Structure 1
Amino acid sequence: MRFSPGYVKDYFAKTKYKTIFIWIVEIVLVIVLAAGVSYFFGKSVVVQEGSMEPTLKAGDRVLINSAVYKLSSPKRGDVIVHRTSRNDKSSLHIKRIIGLPGETVQIKNGKILVDGKRYKEAREYPKIKNPGMAESSVKLKSGEYFVLGDNRNNSEDSRYTDVGNIKKKNIIGRLWFVISPKNRIGILKN
């Protein structure tokens, strides 16, 4: 079979346009994918206070997984970022989830009780000196979470009426990675 010079020229022109089109589509897909990953897993926040010490220190920069709670519910022990209200201008707070919807939380003799049973944590925290409103049982409604800072005696959290129980709709996401300072870089362990 013989090809005419016009056929060869048309073939390479079509192939050239097809290759350029494929490159453009691939570049657009990579940009969209990168934007999605950045939006859902790359939001960062700087820890402003010492209420999560020793887990997080003031000045630590951490990444937020904001997609995780769109697909599942927060779990006990998760370190979350939340707002105290639905207002986007309200400040961000970092705390640990202790009580889940439907549970009763109480702080008695410095110990945390969930549904009347002592809550066993993954690590030791100081005995709680001020139980706040959790001195009496706090019953969590549907979509509400009881949170505490790891620095239990220096944290404004669900024990206090100005914070109270955190609604799921006010949870921004779960912290998952410390990105600075260099000596603390790594996955955040609950």
Structure 2
Amino acid sequence: MKIKKQESKFLIVLDTLMQLAVILSLAWFVVFIFGDRTYMVGQSMSPQIEQGEAALINKAAYTFFKPKRFDVIAFKNRDGRVCIRRVIGLPGETVNIKDGYVYINGKALEKFCEASTGGLATEEIQLMSKEYFVLGDNRVGSEDSRTSTIGNITKDMIIGNAWIRLLPIKRIGFIR
């Protein structure tokens, strides 16, 4: 009788471990297929994402939908380095930065509208059908679409939506 009770407990523990293994395997598979991890290089997105912090990228986010204004995206720049910036200008729009403010189609943006310098956007920029204009949240120290090293981002450069800060643990959370 005692042996059957011990066998029963053993089977329950084994069953629980098997279920946990399946769940963890599925979670890893989903993240591996639809996600990616990158580390923030530089201060372009400070204070939202700081130098060296890890972010999870949703690679499936833009499979069926297009990036929206103010989305935080990850993309490969022309050197192949992964960058994280905020979408400001959408395909077909004009972008201009003057007197420290960002203008889309001639109207000043109310949110995230301040920019220290205009760079390439000092003169009005017309975005083509698959181009996006991105800015870092740290406008003073950001290498973004205002600079010739980044410029306008094309749809095929976009990896996905940067949506969760993974590290450091004390700052885990959604990226807004």
TM-score (structure 2 length as normaliser): 0.81
Unaligned runs of 5+ in 1: 1-22
2:169 alignment partner in structure 1: 182
1:115 alignment partner in structure 2: 105
Residue 57 (1) aligns with residue 72 (2): no
2:12 alignment partner in structure 1: none
Unaligned runs of 5+ in 2: 1-17
Residue 40 (1) aligns with residue 27 (2): no
Deviation at 1:30, TM superposition (A): 8.3
Deviation at 1:32, TM superposition (A): 6.5
1:157 alignment partner in structure 2: 144
Match runs of 1:8-19 below 5 Å: none
Deviation at 1:153, TM superposition (A): 1.0
Deviation at 1:183, TM superposition (A): 1.6
Residue 100 (1) aligns with residue 86 (2): no
Alpha-carbon distance in structure 2 between the residues aligned to 1:157 and 1:58: 16
User: Of 59, 63, 71, which aligns to 1:70?
Assistant: 63
1:82 alignment partner in structure 2: 75
Deviation at 1:182, TM superposition (A): 1.7
RMSD, aligned CA = 2.1
2:45 is paired with a residue whose SS is coil
2:14 alignment partner in structure 1: none
Deviation at 1:128, TM superposition (A): 2.4
Aligned residues: 156
Alpha-carbon distance in structure 1 between the residues aligned to 2:89 and 2:60: 21
1:106 is paired with a residue whose SS is strand
Name the stretch that deviates more: 96-105 or 51-60.
51-60
1:170 alignment partner in structure 2: 157
1:130 alignment partner in structure 2: 117
Deviation at 1:185, TM superposition (A): 0.6
- One-letter code of the match for 2:148? T
Q: Deviations over 1:74-133 (max 9, x none)?
A: 011011111123xxx711111100000000000010000000001111x6x7x4232111
The list of structure 1 runs, each at least 4 consecutive aligned residues, that deviate by more than 6 angstroms after superposition, is none
